[in-house]
Amino acid sequence: MKVAVATTSSLAALAAQEIAEAGGNAVDCAIAAAMLTMNTEPGVCALAGGAYVTVWVPGEAPVTIDGNVAIPGKGLPEGHRHKGGDSVVMEYGGGVTTLAGPESIGVPGSLAAVDLAARRYGSVPWKRLLQPSIRAARDGFPLSSACHYYLRYSGDTIFGRSRDGHRALHDVDGELKSSGAMIVVPQLADSLEAIAQEGSREFYEGGLGRRIAAHVSDNGGLLTFADLKSYKPLARESLQVNLAGWTIASNPPPAVGGAVLGAMLLAFEKSPVSGWTPDSLRQLIEVQRWALSYRRDKLEIADDIDAEVASLLADARSRQLAMRWASSSTVHTSAVDDSGIACAITASSGYGSGEMPAGTGLWLNNCLGELELNRSGLDASPPGARLPSNMAPSIARRKQKVMAAGSPGADRITTALHQFFVNYMQLGLPLADAIAHPRLHFDFGNGRPVVATEPGLDLPSSNIALREFPERGMYFGGVGAALFDKQGGFNVAADPRREGGVFCSS
């Protein structure tokens, strides 16, 4: 079987290649690459976070496996409350306030999601899928420039909280290691080896789970062993929309990322563009403002998320946009194979809690503390409910073509993907050019709307403030796409904004 993969790093692309050569399909290769990125991108992502896996097998409905972080607290006395969490202010991304420490930790779901995907769709044994990650953890891996960039802001304030974590990222003088320096996280390889041998139950029901729960509980957090034991990944039919003859399947509710992306795509399906002129860029800003306003004002606080998503998509189809106006870090892997199977995996651990239970080598998420996304904060409830998410791993089909695509980038995930799909599907740009093309992103800033832009766009005049970046950068996401065309073969591309890696079977 032949496979093409776009992922976060060249190391992860090599992991996908190794599994392809062992007979793996698109799902196997995507899992191997995603597991490696989750364990070798300190600061940017970690295994003890959340993930979504979208899979589309020919002849079947597309499915998204929800492994997002859940609200903790099962088995605790009624009325038990957080004491507050540790507020951290960083200059990252123009200024971020987040909560770190034990109280910010939600119930991790990434491992459960990829495990279910492997059992349902994969063909290579689980132990084999984890071998590249185990080897990288034991031998060491280079600190990527994206990780180094983020850790310049968070290396001490967040990732200096645990002794093992600080030692892994800092030199003998206590300085953050340089980009490209080799990183060995103590005991990480041992934890991954145990997961390879025992399966994900080691993390959720075994010794690792007990150590994680004890660490959080002993230090004042709400995560319990009962939370871990009861966690289940949820497989749902993906949300589907159309653009330029393509059917695009993405993350359904209760996540918000797929709905926001779908709404923006539908708006452009109704009013297609033929090029990025000032008028079409004004339309892009209008659509982003509408969709992101709806996300903020409706979706993130909805009691009935399905009803709100239905209303959002109905508005997009009817072009009633004006009527609705009023993070975190992620990694992504896309894979397709020549049987037509496609798999897209996006994972996040928030900004990171900084907590690493002794002897595990596993950094824990701070998804309860992502205040711009989890609007309910530390008092979110009930235990077991999934937290909101912008992640939108997507798969598109048109006739003999299938493409997996996705992006990291917090609230820029949906706007990056939207512009990529328009560039490729409506404007007909080559895959790599569609990814590399300059982007813009509408943001609410600190209560004042602002449009962040990259160089190279012929912007319209506007009363909205501009934040002009001097060059393309990781702020605007990191789209990776892998395409298989029965007539034209494979095409794969990773975003120049990040250090992405690609692999394509010869």
Give the three-class secondary structure for 424: helix
Q: Which two tokens stand for residue 444?
A: 């609410």
Tokens (6 digits) for 326 = 């009023």
In this predicted structure, which of 85-94, 110-119, 172-181 has the lowest mean pLDDT? 85-94
* DSSP classification of residue 22: T
User: Average of pLDDT values for 151-163?
Assistant: 88
List, edge to edge, every strand of the sheet that includes 440-443. 440-443, 450-453, 465-468
The CB density around residue 421, as the number of other CB atoms within 10 Å, is 26
**In the predicted structure, residue 319 carries a pLDDT above the cut 60:** no
Average pLDDT of span 125-137: 98
Kindly state the average pLDDT of the residues 265-285.
93
Residue of higher predicted confidence among 323 and 457: 457
Q: Choose between 300 and 497: higher pLDDT.
A: 497
DSSP, collapsed to helix, strand or coil, labels residue 12 as helix
> Given a cut of 60, is residue 324 above it in pLDDT?
no
**Does the pLDDT at position 327 exceed 60?**
no
CA distances for 471 relative to 141, 452, 475, angstroms: 28, 12, 11
Residue ranges per domain, the chain?
3-235+331-379, 252-329+406-479
Token duo for residue 368: 């309860």
Task: With a cut of 70, say whether residue 406 has pLDDT above it.
Answer: yes
- Sort strands 465-468 and 450-453 into parallel, antiparallel or unpaired: parallel
Q: Confidence class of residue 376 from pLDDT cuts 50, 70 and 90?
A: low
The single-letter code of the amino acid at 100 is: A
In angstroms, the CA 446 to CA 464 distance is 14
Nearest to 423 by CA among 342, 493, 473, 330: 493
pLDDT of residue 352: 92
What's the whole-model pTM score?
Answer: 0.94
Among 139, 122, 158, 121, which Cα is nearest to 42's? 158
Q: Tokens at residue 427, please?
A: 């404007």
Higher per-residue confidence, 155 vs 378: 155
Overall size of the chain counted in residues:
506
pLDDT at 295 exceeding the cut of 90 = no
**What's the distance, Cα to Cα, between the start and end of the chain in Å?**
10
Q: What amino acid occupies position 286?
A: E
* CA 332/CA 36 separation, integer angstroms: 11
Residues 6+ apart with CB under 8 A from 11: 36, 40, 136, 141, 142, 501
